[in-house]
Amino acid sequence: MKIMVPIKRVVDPYAKVKALPDGTGLDTGGAKFEINPFDEIALEEAVRKREADPSVQIVAVSIGSSSCEDQLRKALAMGADEAILIESDAEWDSPSVAAELAALAKELAPDLVLMGKQATDDDNNQAAQMLAALLDWPQATFASKLDLAGGRATVARETDTGEEVLEMALPCVVTTDLRLNEPRYIALPGIIKARSKPLAKRPPTTEPRLRTRTVRLDAPPTRPPGRKVGSVDELVSELKARGVVA
């Protein structure tokens, strides 16, 4: 079985970033970059599947500049067997990413595409669904449990009304949620082994045709300071004065 795991390079979600003064983007100077946390969960799940079945092969994929190589090396250290960097300095939105991943999936013929439900930088939650549509594969999103057996995937997913269990034939696309697992700490032997694993670089096979554009990025307005009140009556009076309640 072959599992393709797309990963995205994002600013450390725990870091504080600021918009550039002209609003054209984010000031990432000195910022630390990581694998998108949801993609890291997907990679961890793929590694666990390989630990249970040594025949599983894991291919990590990233689209972006040469800077993404650091995140792919980390993926190899976590347990991916090989990595592919689709090297491009262009801007990629969700439809463009889905089209490029679809072209790669047709070439690699994976049994499963396992990826994060969304990226922490843009929070679109679109690429996987678009990829499944382009490939005409079944899909399951927000997986909190994943079982693979007999050429089929059984996915427990969380919804607003409770847990839903889906069963589908492979190949398919599955996106991961936070409760699926907790990614492992990368030990030194894994880092050393990653140096000898293949990391291929190649140009994209599709042209990114942006259907979305960023008009401007601004920091949210500063919240006014809070104020303590001495009683419920004073609270209601203050809320009325501010027009929050009638």
Q: Residues 69, 32: contact at Cβ < 8 Å?
A: no
What pLDDT score does 191 carry?
86
Task: Report if residue 14 sits inside a domain.
Answer: yes
**Cis preceding-peptide flag for 95 (omega within 30 of 0):** no
Task: Report if residue 145 sits inside a domain.
Answer: yes
How many structural domains compose the chain?
1
Assign 160 a pLDDT band (cuts: 50, 70, 90): confident
Domain ranges, residue 179? 2-213
What pLDDT score does 223 carry?
84
Task: Report if residue 229 sits inside a domain.
Answer: no
CATH code at 25?
Answer: 3.40.50.620
Q: In which element (H, E) is residue 208 found?
A: none
**Average pLDDT for 12-23:** 87
Q: Which two tokens stand for residue 192?
A: 């050393």
Assign 95 a pLDDT band (cuts: 50, 70, 90): very high
Task: Report if residue 237 sits inside a domain.
Answer: no
> What predicted TM-score, i.e. pTM, was given to this entire model?
0.86
* pLDDT, tens digit (0-9, with 9 covering 90-100), for 127-138: 999 999 999 999
| Residue 151: pLDDT over 80 | yes
Task: Report if residue 158 sits inside a domain.
Answer: yes
Assign 164 a pLDDT band (cuts: 50, 70, 90): very high
Residue 123 backbone phi and psi in degrees, to 5: 55, 35
- Distance (Å, whole) CA 219 – CA 223: 12
Least confident of 5-9, 60-64, 241-245: 241-245
CA dihedral 27, 30, 32, 33 (to 10 degrees): 60
Task: Report if residue 9 sits inside a domain.
Answer: yes
DSSP 177-233: -GGG--PPP--HHHHHHHTTS-EEEE--SS----S-------PPPPPPPP---SSHH
Mean of all residue pLDDT scores within the chain: 93
Given its phi and psi angles, is residue 164 left (phi above 0), alpha (psi -120 to 50 degrees) or beta?
beta
Task: Report if residue 35 sits inside a domain.
Answer: yes
- The Cα angle at residue 213 between residues 35 and 102, in degrees rounded to 5: 55
